[in-house]
Chains A and B, each alone.
Chain A
Amino acid sequence: MSRFFGFVKKEFQHIFRDVRTLVILFGLPIVMIILFGFVVTTEIKDVEVGIWDRSMDQASIKATQKIFSSGYFVPAGYLQNEEEIGELFRGGRARVVVVFEEGFERGLQRENRAAIQLITDASDANTAQLSLTYLQGVLMTYFRSMNMEMEIPWSVDMKSRMFYNEEMKGVYMFVPGLMALILMLISALMTSVTITREKEFGTMELLLASPLKPREIILGKVTPYVLLSFVNALTIIVLGFLVFGVPVLGSIWLLMLECMLYITLALSLGVLISTSMKTQQMAMFIGMLGLMLPTILLSGFIFPIDNMPRVLQWFSAIMPARWFIVVVKNIMLKGTGFAFIWKETLIMLGMTLFFILASVKRFKIRLN
């Protein structure tokens, strides 16, 4: 046993000797949570709006003021003709151009009708649509308040409740995904690369020739990463709570247990990758392209799985992260117990067993 501990100690020293990697390992979750919390938001803010006011009367000027005082839009300039719209868009200096038709106020007052054109640069379809919805909202509210003070009778009043995330914070969505991503990165990628490294340099032979059993070598290799991953998972939970107020409604112990299961799953996947890779470069590329990107994109981390084409939904079913994210969301945000997540837990357990068996089968004691 002490032989094993000696080996683990050596592995720890390997990791702690490399300060730069260590800083990144611990800094990564912090930077990511800040990025996702503050930067990657789908909210609309400071959208640049150009104004082409062909009527320049009180109503249009007032409406323009309303647009810019709403807080979502900033002026990108006042245009004189149609060519300028294209110029503004091509230069990327505006997303929307509002065109007031000639005789805007007169139309409103005398004929009870007037038109506003909202021209958007729809190359970014989603932002274009969101900006338009906001602009329409601002304009409609303004004109309604101007035109009719009377209350509308006979109406159904809809009250919306936002379950699990009353304030509609984007970061609620990202904390579980971030945990899945970072644990996968550290556990699977790091282990596969370290083991392949020993192979590439031929030091694996030395280890195999030592009295350590192969099982002990693998266990010794992964133990430090279990600890590292765990610290990172805790960092994310604590930061999410302190900075963004993301709660842990369910049992923290259950959450820890599930984290442990997911880490084991990722580690066994890492070991499996390393058994079939010859060089670090190969392990890295497989890890980066085959693991990281699908984990980000197919696990429901950013993009909802329900919206994907059927085939991709099947693909996402073999992503361990997908199931882990469901579990974390349930425990942290919905506060549900084991009864709601036993299926996901079983799937993860099954995957872990499969990876372990497969790597035991593939692991070669002799190198040729």
Chain B
Amino acid sequence: MRILLTLLVKEFKQIFRNRLMLPIIFVVPVVQMILLTYAASLEMKGISMAVVDQDFSQASRLLVSRFEGSPFFEISLTTSNYQEAVRELTRDRVDVILHMPREFEKRLYSEQETDLQLVVNAINSTEAGLINSYCTQIVNDFNGQIRAEWFGLDGAGRITNLEIIPRYWYNSLLDYKIYMFSGILVIIVTLIGMLLTALNLVREKEMGTTEQINVTPLRKYQFIIAKLIPFMVIALFELAFGLVIGRLLFGLPMVGSIGLLFLFTCIYLLVVLGIGLFLSTISNTQQQLMFVAFFFMITFILMSGVFTPAESMPRWAQKINLINPVAYFMKVIRMILLKGSEFRDISREFYSLGIYAMVILTLAITNYRKTT
């Protein structure tokens, strides 16, 4: 026990002696949390639109005024030249073109139906889909208006009125930031836990100081525990730090038990540190390690459902997610913080990670050799 304590003191000293360490623990995460939470927004606003009006009629103007009134659209160009609008689209100056051809109004009267063309820049398919559905909504409203006002046809009177009432639980303002923030917190805790541990161990290996440790009477487990505990403490601290920042800056709700969250994080960190330890046993240089770690991290994070719902992923991806620790934590942190889930709600994830921790730590420790 005394040996372990001395070792721990030495490790902490060594970590904090590194001048880069304090910025990595304090500054970098804060910058990331703030920057990324604001950057990673999928909310749409200010869609810039070009209007090509070749009709100049009452109907076309009324339709355009509908778009002007919408908070989603900004009309940045009004022209009668379609080619000009397309050029602007190609230059990325506008996102969508609304094109009302000649005889737009005339056909509405004579044929009771008229065409309207919408051209969307669809390179970003998500954005394009949203733009299209906003436009559809506005045109539908417009149709209802002209039917009622111009032709005296009251749409509502004849049609059975089905009322669909949406309710948004846990987040009635549909604030995307708190969701994103909790995801970024997971990334930071994982990054610190996995990367710092692994880099620290490989650095000793690369520098040859591991050999010096190996010739001392230290036991393997003592050495490993002394290496893991400091990073576990740092990662847990990082979580607490992040929660405070989230609370202060973004009003991050903490509906569930914080104790439970920390308990779960401990189990999760065992897995993450275990992976870090394992990666360090199979790498010889920091460069090698960095690439292997980067590869795993980015795959794990993208598959964990940080931006996109994990259950909408294909079956094979969900199978892979069974061995993706980040996916478990990503799910649980949001469940506890945002929805107030209790232990029985997350017990499956808890036990799965527990088993995972045992497997990966055993694997890493057996793979770690005192003799080279």
Give me the interface of A with B, judged by CB distance under 8 Å: 18, 20-21, 24-25, 27-28, 31-32, 35-36, 38-48, 85, 89-92, 95, 108, 112-129, 132-133, 136, 139-140, 143-144, 147-148, 152-166, 168-170, 172-173, 185, 189-190, 193-194, 197, 280-282, 284-285, 288-289, 292-294, 297-298, 302-304, 306-309, 312, 315, 326, 329-330, 333-334, 336, 340
Contact = CB atoms under 8 A, between A and B. Distances in A.
Contact of B24 (A285, A298, A309): A285
A112 B339 contact: no
Interface in B113-137: 113-129, 132-133, 135-136
Interface string B333-352: 01100111110010000000
Contacts of A35: 299, 302-303
Interface in B191-207: 191, 195, 199, 203
B122 A164 contact: yes
B123 to A, nearest CB: 5
A118 B113 contact: no
Interface string B96-119: 000000000000100011111111
Interface stretch (B165-173, B238-246, B265-273): B165-173
Nearest to B46: A306
B132 A160 contact: yes
A124 B334 contact: yes
Contact of B302 (A40, A95, A185): A40
Given A164-B122, A307-B43, 9 more contacts: A90-B345, A113-B162, A119-B167, A123-B339, A124-B334, A125-B168, A154-B113, A170-B126, A292-B294
Given A21-B287, A308-B39, A89 B169 contact: yes
Question: 7 smallest A-B Cβ distances: which pairs?
Answer: A162-B122, A122-B168, A123-B338, A165-B122, A168-B125, A122-B171, A125-B174
B170 A285 contact: no
Interface stretch (B144-152, B212-220, B222-230, B360-368): B144-152
B38 A127 contact: no
A15 B303 CA distance: 29
Nearest to B29: A289
Interface string B182-197: 0000000001000100
A32 B303 CA distance: 11
Interface residues of B, number: 110
B249 interface: no
B114 A122 contact: no
Contacts of A303: 39-42
A119 to B, nearest CB: 4
B163 A281 contact: no
A306 B45 CA distance: 8
Given A154-B112, A302-B307, A121 B169 contact: yes
B1 interface: no
Given A108-B162, A154-B108, A127 B128 contact: no
Contact of B174 (A27, A128, A158, A168): A128
Contacts of A292: 294
A151 to B, nearest CB: 9
Contacts of A297: 35-36, 39-40
29 contacts: A21-B291, A24-B292, A31-B299, A35-B303, A38-B314, A44-B309, A45-B312, A89-B169, A113-B160, A113-B162, A115-B162, A115-B163, A117-B166, A117-B167, A125-B176, A133-B133, A154-B147, A156-B114, A156-B146, A162-B128, A165-B122, A168-B128, A168-B129, A190-B287, A285-B24, A288-B195, A289-B32, A302-B307, A304-B127
A124 B309 contact: yes
A155 B143 contact: yes
Contact of A336 (B90, B163, B195): B90
Contact of A115 (B115, B165, B341): B165
B123 A39 contact: no
A89 B223 CA distance: 43
Contacts of A129: 174
A20 B44 contact: no
Contacts of A126: 42, 176, 179
B169 A120 contact: yes
Nearest to B187: A293
A284 B121 contact: no
Interface in B228-283: 283
Nearest to A132: B166
A161 B99 CA distance: 11
B87 to A, nearest CB: 9
A124 B199 contact: no
Given A121-B170, A122-B170, A123-B338, A116 B299 contact: no
A288 B290 CA distance: 9
A156 B146 CA distance: 10
A193 B290 contact: yes
A122 B139 contact: no
Contact of B309 (A108, A127, A193): A127
A307 B283 CA distance: 41
Nearest to A72: B312
A273 to B, nearest CB: 14
B2 interface: no
Contacts of A127: 308-309, 312
A113 B171 contact: no
Contacts of B334: 123-124
Contacts of B54: none
Given A18-B288, A154-B150, A39 B317 contact: yes
Best-buried of A168, A282, A292 by chain B (most CB within 10 Å): A168
A308 B38 contact: yes
B176 A116 contact: no
A35 B287 CA distance: 24
